[in-house]
Each structure stands twice: as C-alpha cells, then as structure tokens.
C-alpha cells in the first residue's frame, strides 16, 4: 500500500484539471502574443482564466498576474514592492518560507533595507503588539507574513495585519500558497497589497501560479523580455498551466466546505489515534482548529537513536511524509521553522499533510506502521 501524506509539498492533480489541459494541448497551440486566429484563440483562454481567478477572489482581472509559481510571485512582490516604492524597512518573521526569508535577507545583505523580525510564540503565532511597535517608525515599512505556515500550519490573522499596515501606511505582502483554495479569500475586503499562489498546492499543475497586485500599488517587472502580462512579466505564458490553475481554483471554491470538513475530520482523527497509541508526543504549531491550517499536522515523536531514520522508515513502509518543508528535503540543516518556535531539536518531527483524496484507511495504515517504527508506544 502506498500512502501519500505530503500534500503541503504538492497535491495530486485533479482529473478535471488534466482534462482541460490535455484538450488545450491537443487543440490550441497558438502563441497568445500572436495576432492571428490561432494566437487570439489561446489569448482568450488566458484572459478567461484571469477573469475566473479574479471573480473567485473578488478583484479586478487587471490585478492578477500569472507567474511560474509561488516563489516567483513572492520574489516579484518583495523585490519590486520594496524597490519601486522607495521602501528601506521590511518586517517579517523567522518562520517564513525561504522564498520570502532568503529574499529579504539578500536585500538586507546588499544594504537595500533594514530587516526587522516580529516576535512569535512557541506555537508560531505573531505578536501583533510587537508588530505595531515595529511599524511605528519614521519610514514606510514593507510587511511580509504568510497566511499559514507551511510546516506547522499556524494561521495569521490577515485582517488584523492589514488594518495595522493601513494605519501606518505600510505595504502588506501575504504568501497564501498553503491556503489558496482552502479558504475564501475576498481580497476586496482585505487590506493586503500582494498575494501569492501556486497551483500545485490545490490539485493544479506545477510550474504556474499568480501574483495579486492591488491596483493602488505600482511596481515594475521583475522579469523583462516581452509585453506579456500587460508588460508586467516577460516570457511566453504557460498557457496550459494557466488554464489548469483556473480550473483547479474553480473546483476548490466549489468543493471548499466539503473538502474542509473531510480533511479536518481526518486531521482530528489522526491526532486522536496518535495520542492513544504513543507516549510523550507533541504537536507543533497552533492546536486550536480555528487558528490552524486543517491540511497540516506536525508531530514530534520521543527522542531516540532512530530519529534520523524516521522518514526513511516511513518511506520503506509505503508512506510519503515530510520532516518539515519539502523545499529543504535532503538538506542536513534542521527546520528553521521548528528552530524558530523553540521545538526540541532532538525529537524527530514529521509533517503529515492531507487533501480531499486522503482516506481514513490511509490514516489507520500509517498509525499501524508508526507503532512498528517508533520505539516508545503506549
């Protein structure tokens, strides 16, 4: 039996999404920048996809720019948002995705900004009072905080951060890669300037995403080359991926309540089974369901000599999971997120992440195999 519990890294592509993409590949091959009929046909697909995404997020199509994924969207928002608006002070946390953290660190290293870190507690919650203190400077700030942490699932109060940023005239960038398609994002009512998405986190294709840029913010391109994306991103569009992204997001919004209930039940069930079968385990991140991403469960098991082999042993038993962020898999460096919240470095930690395709039987199988792998059980 093969069990896939690494959906925070990537999700299986939805069959309806595949059907849309295959149809385009077979029948619509024109370059969307060409003015002839073949090009115009594909251009219409791209623009319809933009309208679909914009409608779901309750924004204008002119505020949606397609990218190669979340990393490019984050880099564009941060680099261009800071540079093109003359900002010299940025605020983030030490548990952001590396697409955010490393980008801001590089800007600071190059002397372009002063970088401040907002305090977080042992569950990964932002200290909003400290955030306000950091915003009380004589210079305009750029705030970059993710909606849900990709390793531990702790959620950010986007509305609260948006209100604080508005109060102090700061620009607010929110990485919503883990939550897009899992929560309703009504961006017309949120005071956020940039939002990033990657299609492969919501049963869409890899290599495509989008960046929302609020119409009140002006930035220049990160990538030059052509007039694509209304002169905001050079390069021929990933038209098949864009069509797949729009379909995946449309399905996600249509199935959201059913999906959320199913996955939350699985997460709760797995927590209960782990507590019943294992002694001295800990759950990393926020445990309140209202403050935690329902697709992610991060577990620290008791210290043991076999800790470094945990993921290997799961894999040979047919279970795919992660020891933190998949973007750092294979690295000898420990999770910066778990370090940032003060988790015990000697405890082997596993991130189990679920999707609408995960079953209760797969959870039962995983728990049974863990009972064989983990040396200390109840």
User: Which residues are catalytically annotated?
Assistant: 327
Q: Contact 95/148 with Cβ under 8 angstroms?
A: no
* Closest to 245 (Cα-Cα) out of 195, 177, 198: 198
Q: Which residues of 134-170 are buried (b: 16+ CB within 10 A; e: fewer)?
A: bbeeeebbbbbbbbbbbbbbbbbebeebbebbeeeeb
Q: How far is CA 92 from the centre of its chain?
A: 16
Residue count (the chain): 378
What is the DSSP secondary structure assignment for residue 116, as one 8-state letter?
Answer: E
Q: State both tokens at 64.
A: 């949606």
Q: Contact 144/104 with Cβ under 8 angstroms?
A: yes
What element of type H or E holds 257? helix 239-277
């Amino acid at each position: 039996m093969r069990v896939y519990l690494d959906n925070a890294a990537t999700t299986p592509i939805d069959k309806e999404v595949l059907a849309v993409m295959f149809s385009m590949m077979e029948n619509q091959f024109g370059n969307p920048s060409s003015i002839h009929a073949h090009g115009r046909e594909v251009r219409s697909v791209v623009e319809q996809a933009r309208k679909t995404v914009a409608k779901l997020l309750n924004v204008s199509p002119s505020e949606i720019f397609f990218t190669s994924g979340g990393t490019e969207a984050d880099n564009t928002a941060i680099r261009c948002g800071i540079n093109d608006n003359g900002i010299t002070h940025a605020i983030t946390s030490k548990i952001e995705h590396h697409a955010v953290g490393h980008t801001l660190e590089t800007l600071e290293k190059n002397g372009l900004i002063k970088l401040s870190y907002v305090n977080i507690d042992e569950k990964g919650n932002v200290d909003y009072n400290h955030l306000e203190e950091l915003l009380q400077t004589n210079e305009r700030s750029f705030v970059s905080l993710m909606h849900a942490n990709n390793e531990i699932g702790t959620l950010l109060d986007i509305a609260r951060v948006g209100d604080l940023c508005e109060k102090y005239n700061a620009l607010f960038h929110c990485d919503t890669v883990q939550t897009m398609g899992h929560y309703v994002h009504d961006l017309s009512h949120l005071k956020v300037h940039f939002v990033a998405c990657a299609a492969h986190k919501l049963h869409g294709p890899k290599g495509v995403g989008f960046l929302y840029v609020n119409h009140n913010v002006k930035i220049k391109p990160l990538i030059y080359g052509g007039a694509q994306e209304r002169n905001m991103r050079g390069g021929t569009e990933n038209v098949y991926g864009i069509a797949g992204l729009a379909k995946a997001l449309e399905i996600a919004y249509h199935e959201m309540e059913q999906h959320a209930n199913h996955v939350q039940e699985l997460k709760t069930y797995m927590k209960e089974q782990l507590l019943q079968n294992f002694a001295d385990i800990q759950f990393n991140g926020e445990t309140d369901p209202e403050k935690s991403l329902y697709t992610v469960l991060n577990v620290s098991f008791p210290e043991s000599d076999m800790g470094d082999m945990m993921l290997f042993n799961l894999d040979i038993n047919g279970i795919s999971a992660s020891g933190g962020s998949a973007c750092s898999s294979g690295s000898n460096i420990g999770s910066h997120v778990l370090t940032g919240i003060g988790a015990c470095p000697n405890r082997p930690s596993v991130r189990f992440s679920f999707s609408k395709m995960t079953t209760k039987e797969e959870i039962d199988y995983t728990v049974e195999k863990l009972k064989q792998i983990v040396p200390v059980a109840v």
